[in-house]
Chains A and B, each alone.
Chain A
Amino acid sequence: MIPACPLSALPRGEAVRLDTDPPIAVFHTEDGELYAVDDTCTHQDASLADGWLEGCEVECPLHASRFDLRTGQVDAPPAKLPVRTHGVVVEDGMVHVVPSELPPNLPPGLRTPGRA
């Protein structure tokens, strides 16, 4: 488990980016749900934590593909691949991420580990 931040530091409607490799974005939706996905869009080099959060979807800030934070699925091109999702647990007021064991879908140019 990776500690992310105190829940009190992540208001609804906000996101935080973790400096993991690859980076992970944790979202707190307006409905009070917490979700974590890989921060880098699967299309090109954009940070989803910088995206537009609406319901439990985040719109990529660069080309507007939308990812469902629950499943990682993408709604429409240009992104083609889903974004990897991670588990989130809150313990003693701290948000933690349980990283996925599946391989990430990093965009071209960022596929070599460490470059992300």
Chain B
Amino acid sequence: MRSVAVVGASLAGLWAARALREQGFDGRLTLIGAEPHRPYDRPPLSKEFLAGTMTEADLALEDAGEDLGAEWRLGVPAAGLTPRGSAGYAVTLGDGTSVAADGVVIATGATARSLPWNLPGVHTLRTLDDARALRADLVPGRRLVVVGAGFVGAEVAATAHSLGLDVTIVEIAPAPSARALGSRMGHALAGLHEDRGVRVLCGVAVRAVTGGDRVDGVLLDDGRSLPADVVLAGIGASPAVGWLAGSGVDLCGDSGDPGGSSGGSGGGVRCDAGGATNLPGVVAVGDCAAWYDPGLGRHHRVEHWTGAVRRPETAARTLLSGGAAEPGAPEPPYLWSDQYGLRVQFAGHAGPADEVTVEEGDVDARSFLAVYRRDGRATAVLAVDRVRPFGRWRRRIEPAGAR
């Protein structure tokens, strides 16, 4: 392999480029990124950066002076991927140019889903530019309505509360993250907000976002109307795979993730357990990729930071070995979230019928560790403010089908 194009120059793309170099790839390396920015870290966008305690410079993912010997094509999206037989691939870019490569790493991540009402004051949060715009709108005293109580929505609610906004969360499910965590633990997470006077309205859908020059309210399906100066749509993200249309790369259906922990949007680039797609010399990593999980017996798209950092090493090995490298057993997905100064951590795959026991602490005291079990096997662990025991439990989660 003499040349590799990494498409998507963010977390998974940067880690893939590093892994290729670490594994001895010394050919031509091109990173293509739609955003004009150097790779930056997204988790602080809803936390420290939004709160103003981290600067843009603090978000940089690269080391000072790090040089991967790569060509960077930033600020221009890939528009298509064309197989060229033994000549490899052509990645065509939005500006009409193209990059030829023997191998391709797909790392285009995901795009925030938006509400159908696009008024000034209505935001999504995925990129640095989104975060700048949201931050400018989070003025103390304003009323914020967060639509969707997933982790990003919950974090924005917590940060906005700390900035002095009046915050309401609207969630269509019976409890926050109910699908991923079950309703009991979802209610426990709702309590983090309610303790501080942030309202959490569950089991109700948004009928409309209202306003003229600017948003002024959110109308709910049950007839209630919430006044709002700012609205955040925290309704998940879809894999950024539109540019692969016509390339021949197989995608997963939308139902690829029933009951998983990823927030469940499914879809994504269909990969084997080593990150290989159906096209030779093309692998996919990060939020856009649905890897086959042999324990689960299905493809599963993981949308968390740690997956985007851990999998590129395997995918690079797959790419450089032409698929001959045996992937190791998959690690259980892991995510963390910070809300109101409390650290929430989750690892594993919780199923709707799993039995949940609080092993340590007290849910009402907002400091606890709960273990999910199926047939006596620990499938997942959730902790609030219990970092050390979580680390031990995380290592005891058994992959599905382990016995």
Q: Which residues of A contact B (CB under 8 A)?
A: 44-47, 49-52, 61-64, 77-78, 80, 108-109
Identify 6 new A-B residue pairs, CB closer than 8 A, beyond the known A49-B388, A63-B306: A45-B48, A51-B391, A52-B391, A52-B395, A77-B18, A78-B309
A47 touches B387 (CB 8 A): yes
Tell which of B55-63, B95-103, B154-162, B362-370 binds the partner.
B55-63
A108-B41 Cα distance, complex, nearest whole Å:
13
A109 touches B61 (CB 8 A): no
A63-B53 Cα distance, complex, nearest whole Å:
19
Contact flag A46-B61 (CB < 8 Å), given A62-B336, A108-B48, A108-B53: no
A37-B181 Cα distance, complex, nearest whole Å:
36
Contact flag A63-B309 (CB < 8 Å), given A50-B387, A108-B53: yes
Among B41, B53, B54, B336: residue with most chain A CB under 10 A? B53
B53 touches A109 (CB 8 A): yes
B390 contacts chain A at the CB level, 8 A cutoff: yes
Q: Which residues of B contact A (CB under 8 A)?
A: 18, 41, 44, 48, 53-55, 58, 61, 63-64, 305-306, 309, 336, 338, 387-388, 390-392, 395
In whole Å, how far is A83's beta carbon from the nearest beta carbon of chain B?
Answer: 16
Q: Main SS of the interface on chain A? A: loop
Among B336, B391, B395: residue with most chain A CB under 10 A? B391
- Nearest to A62 among chain B residues (CB) is B336
Instruction: Find chain B residues with CB under 8 A from A64 CB.
Output: 306
Instruction: Find chain B residues with CB under 8 A from A46 CB.
Output: 387
* 7 contacting pairs across A/B (C-beta < 8 A): A51-B391, A61-B388, A61-B390, A77-B18, A80-B64, A108-B58, A109-B48
- Nearest to B388 among chain A residues (CB) is A50
In whole Å, how far is B140's beta carbon from the nearest beta carbon of chain A?
Answer: 20
Instruction: Find chain A residues with CB under 8 A from B41 CB.
Output: 78
A62-B343 Cα distance, complex, nearest whole Å:
10
In whole Å, how far is B392's beta carbon from the nearest beta carbon of chain A?
Answer: 8
Instruction: Find chain A residues with CB under 8 A from B58 CB.
Output: 108-109
Instruction: Find chain A residues with CB under 8 A from B390 CB.
Output: 61
Instruction: Find chain A residues with CB under 8 A from B18 CB.
Output: 77
